[in-house]
Structure 1
Amino acid sequence: MTTVGQPPPFARELLRWRTARRVSQLELASRAGTTQRYVSFIERGRSVPGRAVVLRLAESLGLTLRERNTLLLAAGYAPAFPESPLDAVELGPVREALDGILEGHQPYPALVAGPRGELVAANEAFDVLTEGAAAELLKPPVNVLRLALHPRGTAPRVINLDAWGRHIVENLRARAARSADPSLDELATELAGYVPPSGGSDDDYLGFAVPLRLRCAEGELRLLTTLTSFATAVDVTLAELQLEAFLPADARTAEILRARAAQRR
């Protein structure tokens, strides 16, 4: 129910998102192909936008598919984007494609994770990141972000835990700042508590990237990561998945990972 004197729910949500994105009414209007006057009327509850306008405003603010659905509901419209279970028949080709990508990345580690770091799938080479981790951290649902930084997870084997940990926490905080999901803030706060103070050295940086320096039985691994998302997805579940692939930063790392793959075979 809308309190007397207050704008309706959609108007409040639009204003909240525009403020969070630090976008002026004029800029938003320009992006969405409308006028500043109309955006002002919407935010004051004096105009009720059509469904197409709501979608244009949401896209102009860079909202995720889930957030766009929420904005549509606030305006009184049905969600535009489906949210299918990952095991749904219609996502079968996607699962096959992901399995092919993970397998094709061998002998290097790769994984698919959900929006809060929950592990969806991984290839066999991913075991180099889980060795020695406590059993409770490997019980489904596994959170790969917590696994990476927890003192009973991968963290004790990470040589540059301060730099690598800051890299993970800062990325998560940046996502949290753009999201309405409070669990991301909570997770970032938890993970930050696992990261030691900075050593003040830039030696851990390889050009512009932060490599993961990881101890294993065969020696030190130096790994870079790439993150891939489904930017053109129209299903909420698919849009929230992220593929993280690890690449060797030096010849010795590549050699060790190839040898481990040969041993598995």
Structure 2
Amino acid sequence: MTPTTTTSVGAMLRTWRGRRGISQLELAGRAGSSSRHISFVETGRARPSEELLLRLADQLDVPVRERNALLLAAGYAPRYAQTPLDDPSMRALREGLERLLTGYEPYPALVVDATYTVVAANRGIAMLLEGIPEHLLTPPLNAMRITLHPEGLARRIHNLDEWRGHLLAQMGRQIALARSAPLRALYEEVAAYPVPDPAPDRPRPAEPDGAAPYIALPLVIEHDGRLISFISSIATFNTPMDVTVAELAVETLLPADPATAKYLRSLDY
């Protein structure tokens, strides 16, 4: 959220506190302040110091971008830079991400930003995207559009209702956290996509190998006439000091069963 002249730092803090379900007394105890002072800050009777404001933001788990907004609303300079990923200073990060993605092959892995724009991907992802129409693959690629568009991966996903619901719920939680207008627009776009009818001759999903059930909701998708299953894992950076880095997420797709793992290892990239 970008602060405006009518948005006070106290009102913003009160909103974040309400979202977290934390009382003024509890927040004060966590941040080393008093409930009276927190009350004065929220009502505009006191201006928080920069140090206290950052402690409050930390205890409320405010995203890095929004911490800058809090600082600006209180009359302080932003603390966190927003460095483009192609900046020379980001070279080590870019190279590290590339090594991570390559090392994960043959399993699919990608890196996305706060609006699910794909900033890097490995050959496992390229394998899944084989046959996707060119207009969906024109940069900048967007992971949500590619996945949920009826001409994209959606037509190949065999548990589309469950997977679509999972992705939309995930986006909804992020919107509630960050109040991002671009993310809201993306959500409204992909949620409105028609759900494609399954092909009448597509293979039936197989039960997971062995007696154990899936440990998490799998992505069951068809590739080259074969059904493969993945479990998604998402990782972010710990204590980021840059907005760009804070909003990057590494998603890896782990084979959900031995047959999928064997199939991926058999592919010749």
| TM-score, normalised relative to structure 2 | 0.88
Amino acid of the structure 1 residue aligned with 2:36? R
Correspondences of 1:1-265 after superposition (within 5 Å): 9-194=8-193, 206-260=213-267, 263-264=268-269
CA contact (8 A) 1:83 1:237 kept: yes
Displacement after TM superposition at 1:252 (Å):
1.4
Taking every aligned residue pair, what percent have the same amino acid on both sides?
42
Q: What's the CA shift string for 1:3-40, capped at 9, x where partnerless?
A: 7xxxx721222122222332221122122111110000
Displacement after TM superposition at 1:155 (Å):
0.4
CA contact (8 A) 2:50 2:76 kept: yes
Q: What's the CA shift string for 1:59-81, capped at 9, x where partnerless?
A: 11101111101100000000111
Q: What's the CA shift string for 1:111-136, capped at 9, x where partnerless?
A: 00001100000011112321222211
Displacement after TM superposition at 1:190 (Å):
2.9
Whole-Å separation in 2 of the counterparts to 1:9 and 1:164? 39
SS of match in other structure, 2:110: strand
Identify if the C-alpha distance between structure 1 residues 103 and 28 changes in structure 2 by more than 3 Å, giving closer, same or farther.
Answer: same
State the 4+ residue runs in structure 1 displaced beyond 6 angstroms: none
CA contact (8 A) 1:81 1:234 kept: yes
SS of match in other structure, 2:53: helix
Q: What's the CA shift string for 1:201-234, capped at 9, x where partnerless?
A: xx89954411011111151111111101002221
RMSD: 2.1
Displacement after TM superposition at 1:196 (Å):
5.0
Amino acid of the structure 2 residue aligned with 1:258? R
Amino acid of the structure 2 residue aligned with 1:112? V
SS of match in other structure, 1:165: helix
| TM-score, normalised relative to structure 1 | 0.89
Q: Which residue of 2 aligns with 1:200?
A: none
Q: What's the CA shift string for 1:172-203, capped at 9, x where partnerless?
A: 11111111213323322333334759xxxxx8
CA contact (8 A) 1:166 1:192 kept: no
Identify if the C-alpha distance between structure 1 residues 195 and 221 changes in structure 2 by more than 3 Å, giving closer, same or farther.
Answer: farther
Q: What's the CA shift string for 1:35-70, capped at 9, x where partnerless?
A: 110000111111111110111111111011111011
Displacement after TM superposition at 1:143 (Å):
0.7
Q: What's the CA shift string for 1:89-128, capped at 9, x where partnerless?
A: 2211111110100000000110000011000000111123
Identify if the C-alpha distance between structure 1 residues 163 and 99 changes in structure 2 by more than 3 Å, giving closer, same or farther.
Answer: same
SS of match in other structure, 2:178: coil
Query: Any stretches of 5+ residues in structure 2 without a counterpart?
Result: 197-206
SS of match in other structure, 1:178: helix
Query: Any stretches of 5+ residues in structure 1 without a counterpart?
Result: 198-202
Whole-Å separation in 2 of the counterparts to 1:2 and 1:257? 55
Identify if the C-alpha distance between structure 1 residues 68 and 162 changes in structure 2 by more than 3 Å, giving closer, same or farther.
Answer: same
CA contact (8 A) 2:128 2:223 kept: no
Work out the number of aligned pairs and report it: 253
Displacement after TM superposition at 1:2 (Å):
6.2
Identify if the C-alpha distance between structure 1 residues 55 and 195 changes in structure 2 by more than 3 Å, giving closer, same or farther.
Answer: farther
Whole-Å separation in 1 of the counterparts to 2:65 and 2:86? 19
CA contact (8 A) 1:132 1:154 kept: no
CA contact (8 A) 1:165 1:195 kept: no
Amino acid of the structure 2 residue aligned with 1:239? A
